[in-house]
Amino acid sequence: MGLIVAKFGGSSVADATSILRVAKRVVDAKKAGNEVVVVVSAMGDTTDELLDLAQQVSPNPPGRELDMLLTAGERISMAVLAMAISDLGVEARSYTGSQAGLITDSTHGKARIIDVSPSRIQEALDQGAIPIVAGFQGVSLDTKDITTLGRGGSDTTAVALAAALNADVCEIYTDVDGIFSADPRIAPKARQVPRITYDEMMELAAAGAKVLHLRCVEYAKRFNVPLHVRSSFSDKEGTFVIADLDDQSKIENLSTLGVVMEQPIIAGVAHDLSDAKVTVIAVPDKPGTAAAIFQAVADAGINMDMIVQNVSSHGTAKTDVTFTVPRADVGKAESSLRAVQNEIGFEDIEADENIAKISLVGAGMRSHPGVSATFFKAIADAGVNVEMISTSEIRISVVTRADDAQTTVQAVHTAFGLDADGEAVVYAGTGR
């Protein structure tokens, strides 16, 4: 009995059959006494098909027109879903991002939301109708042109609407049951996490977990919107993403499983196979050279992730600088560095695409010493060599050979008692 914003991704509305299933679920939620606002992505492969069509007429289409084209995808899915819901006897009205008041800046392809004015959505709710809103899209305040929000955009639309409407929960329907303690495809014993904090979820998303996009979780944290990640193919409760697992008040009414009694130390293990490692060899070890390297890469528009500077090893006053970048950007990173090679005075560049990043995330790390020791012991016992290390307050990441990713994830997952079948390890006095 509350206001639910429910977002359905492309796989949940892939075809007419899926749309009919979603329609029934939405109507059931409404009939159970809730107010429901639906946000939809484009159906299945629609976006890819539209991109393919664009490529056939222009190798590098203008962003304004690409946004106009891609927004046709949600227009189709939202109208068809509204029809399916109406056919079940409940009024539904579809709204474009612009009609729903999603006001953005003018950065086509990755616009940022600058205001949400959902007066038409509120009006539809007040009249007892179910508003269906196109995800991923908005309208530029300055140019009045149609914009898209980029990756994870539909989730962000849902969270932004939930915040503006002061919804009780934002449900993210997807094709998995929720957030898992690791990717079940490489860690078969991974189990579903019932609760996770915004901070943990952000670290997991940044570390390669695919279910939620970092930006959506940041938005949810900023406006304290409880997220419920769940499957559109079952009625099972999924994973709640909330501010603080100790403050259960936000989710008490939302959860059918009851509250969780104790906060787990570890939320999960993430892996990422999409990065490459670049090593700049024999860099003069003097102030300013590392900065010059990072500036050259940043000027090329490339995000560096982990950075390690080795101790001098090439005789005196020489060091190696290693960092990771998205694999697709390796060539660009190399050429941007070659352009300043003489100026900086390093010897060579080596790129290595066969790496994996494995990350352990858990808010409990803050207060529980010994997590690192268990983590590195597990990796060592599995015979895996660690090539780089980086940490945050609630995350430890290592780089290994790509071939070692699965072994490493499974070893760490087991070591922290996360395996679904095994007994939970009691660690530092707190177990699960």
Shortest Å distance, C-beta 65 to a copy of itself: 4
**DSSP element (H, E) containing 51:** helix 46-57
Shortest Å distance, C-beta 78 to a copy of itself: 7
Shortest Å distance, C-beta 109 to a copy of itself: 13
Q: How far apart are CA 339 and CA 356, in angstroms?
A: 28
Residue 116 carries which side chain, given as an amino acid letter?
V
Cα–Cα nearest to 99, from 132, 125, 128, 57: 132
**DSSP element (H, E) containing 119:** helix 119-126
Q: Which is nearer to a copy of itself, 94 or 319 (CB)?
A: 94
x-or-dash pattern for a copy of itself, window 304-333, by CB under 8 A?
Answer: ------------------------------
Q: Which is nearer to a copy of itself, 84 or 333 (CB)?
A: 84
**DSSP element (H, E) containing 177:** none
Q: Which is nearer to a copy of itself, 144 or 185 (CB)?
A: 144
Shortest Å distance, C-beta 67 to a copy of itself: 8
Q: Which is nearer to a copy of itself, 53 or 257 (CB)?
A: 53
Q: How far apart are CA 8 and CA 11, in angstroms?
A: 8
Residues 9-38 that bind a copy of itself (CB under 8 A): 16, 19-20, 23
Residue 226 carries which side chain, given as an amino acid letter?
P
Shortest Å distance, C-beta 98 to a copy of itself: 9
Shortest Å distance, C-beta 173 to a copy of itself: 18
Shortest Å distance, C-beta 118 to a copy of itself: 14
Residues 56-115 that bind a copy of itself (CB under 8 A): 56-62, 64-66, 68-69, 71-72, 75-76, 78-84, 86-87, 92-94, 99
Judge contact between 187 and 409, C-beta under 8 A. Answer: yes
Q: Kindly indicate which of the ranges 51-59, 178-186, 220-228, 247-255 contains the residues binding a copy of itself, using the contact rule CB under 8 A.
A: 51-59
Shortest Å distance, C-beta 151 to a copy of itself: 20
| Phi, psi for 54 (deg, rounded to 5) | -60, -45
Instruction: Name the H helices within 169-311.
Output: 198-206, 214-223, 249-252, 289-299
| Phi, psi for 427 (deg, rounded to 5) | -130, 125
Q: Is 122 in the site for a copy of itself (CB under 8 A)?
A: no
Shortest Å distance, C-beta 114 to a copy of itself: 20
Q: Which is nearer to a copy of itself, 72 or 349 (CB)?
A: 72
Q: Is 339 in the site for a copy of itself (CB under 8 A)?
A: no
Q: Is 53 in the site for a copy of itself (CB under 8 A)?
A: yes
Q: How far apart are CA 211 and CA 175, in angstroms?
A: 9
Shortest Å distance, C-beta 29 to a copy of itself: 18
Residues 134-163 that bind a copy of itself (CB under 8 A): 144
**Binding residue (CB under 8 A) for a copy of itself from 3, 50, 260, 304:** 50
Give the strands of the sheet with 388-392, arranged side by side.
Answer: 268-272, 355-361, 395-401, 388-392
Sorted by sequence, the CB contacts under 8 Å of residue 209 that are 6+ apart come out as 179, 183, 268, 270
Q: Is 54 in the site for a copy of itself (CB under 8 A)?
A: yes
Q: Which is nearer to a copy of itself, 39 or 81 (CB)?
A: 81
Q: How far apart are the first and last CA of the chain?
A: 31
Q: How far apart are CA 86 and CA 82, in angstroms?
A: 6
Query: In angstroms, what CA-CA distances link 291 with 97, 177, 272, 286, 351?
Result: 42, 44, 26, 10, 19
Shortest Å distance, C-beta 404 to a copy of itself: 44
Q: How far apart are CA 207 and CA 324, in angstroms?
A: 12
**DSSP element (H, E) containing 154:** helix 153-164
Q: Which is nearer to a copy of itself, 53 or 426 (CB)?
A: 53
Q: Which is nearer to a copy of itself, 148 or 239 (CB)?
A: 148
Q: Is 129 in the site for a copy of itself (CB under 8 A)?
A: no
Judge contact between 411 and 378, C-beta under 8 A. Answer: yes
- Binding-site size for a copy of itself (CB under 8 A) equals 38
Site residues, a copy of itself (CB under 8 A): 16, 19-20, 23, 50, 53-54, 56-62, 64-66, 68-69, 71-72, 75-76, 78-84, 86-87, 92-94, 99, 120, 144
